[in-house]
A and B are shown apart, each in its own frame.
Chain A
């Protein structure tokens, strides 16, 4: 069965430190993965998608099919990066249903 695991509930780093939010998935098909972010008092919004291989706000994520991982990384964390981060997997094929992990709360301290 499909599953998304985010092992860290809370990640706390200092400003300027590197950050890595872990995401592992279980899926028998060809995965389509996303990272969503929710800033305080704001709605859930797409941060990046693996298929685009893009960098948004300094964040990158590489799909590693061998390790079934899609970790989110940023070399130098900023205070404004503090938010909830959710990893999501499209398991619905053309329909596009998403399975989300439980989320990781990132706290960047000054």
Chain B
């Protein structure tokens, strides 16, 4: 089946502009994660959704970052008044919700990422 898709793949923004990054998870995957990957670093957790509920936004670096998943499928990460330090690859991952002993566990499948460059 189709994997996680993200759009746009590349985005160049001028400092101060607002941007919106889209993630289409694997169909039926309940859990959705956003990560930020700066150059030369590993991905860092931003926020987590279970269906439409944003259960954890502890990784969002500032109140300029906002994420939503209104219908429990597609998710959008919005960054307001972009700054140069926001330049990074933004990764989305989805996971099938498991039950029983393995509840909450399971593999995360990653999208190709959106490379954001803020000039």
Contacts and interface: CB of A to CB of B under 8 A. Distances in A.
The yes or no verdict on A and B being binding partners is yes
Interface of A: 4, 32, 36, 43-46, 49, 86, 88, 90, 92-103
A96 B95 CA distance: 9
A97 B33 contact: yes
B110 interface: yes
A86 B95 CA distance: 18
User: For A43, A45, A99, which residue has the most chain B Cβ atoms within 10 angstroms?
Assistant: A43
B106 A96 contact: yes
> Which one of B31, B42, B48, B112 has the greatest number of beta carbons of chain A within 10 Å?
B42
Contact of A90 (B91, B105, B110): B105
B42 A103 contact: yes
Contacts of B91: 44
Question: What's the interface size class on B, roughly?
Answer: 20 to 34
B56 to A, nearest CB: 6
A43 B111 contact: yes
Nearest to A49: B107
B108 A98 contact: yes
Contact of B48 (A44, A90, A95, A102): A95
Nearest to A36: B110
Contact of A44 (B45, B95, B105, B110): B110
A96 to B, nearest CB: 6
B104 A46 contact: no
7 contacts: A36-B110, A86-B43, A96-B33, A96-B104, A96-B106, A97-B59, A100-B43
Contacts of B110: 36, 43-45
Contact of A94 (B104, B108, B109): B104
Contact of B104 (A49, A93, A101, A102): A93
B25 interface: no
Interface in B7-62: 31, 33, 35, 40-45, 48, 50, 55-56, 59
Contact of B31 (A36, A96, A100, A101): A96
